[in-house]
Amino acid sequence: MGVGDVLDHAMSGTGRRCTSACAAVRSFTPLSGRCGGARSPARSPYGSSPRAAGRTRGAPAGWCGSSPRVTSVRWRPPPGIVQGRSSSRRDTGQGGHRGARENGRQWRYPFGWWRLGWMALAVAHPYQNAHAVPGGPATLAAEHRGMGEPVEKSRRDRTRRPKLPDAVPAVLLGALGALVVGTVIGLAADPSRLVGTGGYVFATGLLLAVGLYGSTYGIDLADLRRDLRGVVVAVTLGVLVKAGLIAGVMVLAFDRPEYLVLGIVVAQIDPLSVAALSEDGHMSQRARSLLTAWASFDDPMTVLLTLYVAGYAYTAAGNAGTPSVVGGGARGYLIGLALNALLLAGALLLWWAGGRVWPARRDAGEAGAAGGPGTVREPWRLRGPATPLAVLLVMAMLVLAALYTLMLAVAVAGLFLRAKAFTRPLTRAVTSAFLLATALLGLFVAQGVSPAPGLLLGASAFGAQAVVAMLLMPLFVRGLSRRDRFLLGIGQQNGLTAVLLALTLERDFPKTVGIVAPAVVTVNLLHYGARIGFGCWSRHRSRKVRQPEAEQERLPQRPVDEDGKEAEPPAAADGLRSSA
């Protein structure tokens, strides 16, 4: 029994119903069957256009719909069908249509749901080979959302909703607004009184701790293990080369030995800025993990360079004695590393104990990662405690790190102390911390800056990052594409960490903050401009080299035998696969 026979028997065997039903089905999608009842006319009663009727060229009379050589493009509403929008209320419109409205986009049929069921059965017939026939049932079903006009946004609707370009993150506009607000507040009030207070030190340390934890939280551990050598080179040799290049440019330009410390201040990458602007669709996950690890673990090398370079620059500038920034020297540096290790060990131990006492509930994905069939267990992942206990543990760790400036422990803890419940709140916390840090930067910009040294310092830092990322890193990290190397080259960002280090050096090297503040703004403007420019160029290039759509293949009207001749359709099924 063919599809037409099914329709015929379902509709009480009357020729009128079979003809109208088959014509209705034909107006939506082509069928290759003959009605069991009356012969449908060669011309559709719902329209004279071949596109509206969906019939083929040269189809014999009595054939319902068309052969696979169909040229139908889009369904046109036949007369009598009311245009309306779906509604939860059962309003009765004209022609028995329910939920009819005048200015909608969805087309509905004027007959009952039981006929639609049989028509859907006909559309889903296996002979149609929907994936190969242009305008076939699967294609039309996907386009038409249930036998109607395709639900698509018009050009008028798209123009009504102004939208930022994809290359411009919304947080970037927020950062610019926060910078303006901070500058206005700095002009109205003097923030220098807050610099030495305990509340200011704790607040800035907490912002930095949130940024460090958020940046390492998003690192892919598989990419980190694969590129571990590259990360080590970036945070050691890369920081050293960048600091040397920046300091050399500043000393040669201004002939002042105290400017050696400026290269160290801006050589590191701000992890808070990287974490807040990490959603870059152009950069691969591997390159993003490499940049995040680079920004998170370059602080120890920066501090170590400060201990030695600050002493030499202080003496070369004609000052006597030892700068206060050196503090305890190497002994104090080792004590700080020991305290970081102690905090990290305590956090890991409490996380493991909490996972034993009050474990978190596992979903299907976590159960598979724990050793289910067909999955690979992550060896570095600890089973964490329940969400309330995990939140308390992480917050306590961040507070202790902010009080005692133990940021290395926070950066390493972000690789292990992970929970799915942290993802969305942590993203919002990182964004908020980034905006607050930008507002703090505006406070110091308002207190007076040195434009010429600041601009040169920012441009030198941006150029040094490009040299290291595009020339040095490919020697140790294999397989990076040119796109990733370029994006790593423009990845230099400075922010709260540079300002905090400049405030530390301000006591021994006056006007450091006045030079570093415009340098930070310059670096970030160069980064954002290069990022937006690359995004626009990438979209333009993708549209230019877009391949034309492949021509849709059409099935032959009849099966082809081995000699290449069209065979006659089976007499029992009239060209259709029998449904019996």
Predicted local confidence at residue 27, as pLDDT: 46
CA 305 to chain CA centroid, nearest Å:
36
CA 106 to chain CA centroid, nearest Å:
32
DSSP code string of 301-369: HHHHHHHHHHHHHHHHTT--S--TTTTTHHHHHHHHHHHHHHHHHHHHHHHHHHHHHSBPPP-HHHHHH
- Single-letter residue type at 238: G
Predicted local confidence at residue 195, as pLDDT: 73
Instruction: Record the tokens describing residue 56, joined without a space.
Output: 């083929």
More confident residue, 518 or 126: 518
Domains and CATH numbers, the chain: 3-158 (no CATH), 170-543 (1.20.1530)
Rg (CA), the chain: 34
**Among 18-27, 443-452, 486-495, which is the least confidently predicted range?**
18-27
118-174 pLDDT, tens digit each? 454 444 444 444 444 444 444 444 444 444 444 444 444 444 444 545 545 677 788
Reply yes or no on whether the pLDDT at 310 is more than 60. yes
Instruction: Look over the chain and give the mean of its residue pLDDT values, rounded to a whole number.
Output: 72
**Among 20-29, 195-204, 387-396, 490-499, which is the least confidently predicted range?**
20-29
Cα 324 to Cα 460: distance, rounded to the nearest angstrom: 27
Residue in the structure block whose two tokens are 């939208």:
163
Instruction: Record the tokens describing residue 87, joined without a space.
Output: 């509604």
Neighbours of 155 (CB within 10 A): 7
Instruction: Record the tokens describing residue 452, joined without a space.
Output: 């010429």
The most confident of 51-55, 150-154, 279-283, 469-473, by mean pLDDT = 469-473
332-365 pLDDT, tens digit each? 888 989 999 999 999 999 999 988 888 877 654 4
> 248-256 long-range contacts, Cβ below 8 Å, gap at least 24?
249/456, 249/460, 250/453, 250/456, 250/457, 250/460, 253/456, 254/453, 256/317
Reply yes or no on whether the pLDDT at 20 is more than 60. no
Cα 263 to Cα 246: distance, rounded to the nearest angstrom: 5
Q: Is 65 helix (H, G, I), strand (E, B) or coil?
A: strand
Reply yes or no on whether the pLDDT at 111 is more than 70. no
**Among 56-60, 114-118, 295-299, 468-472, which is the least confidently predicted range?**
56-60
Q: What pTM was computed for the model?
A: 0.61
Neighbours of 545 (CB within 10 A): 7
Element (H, E) at 64: strand 63-65
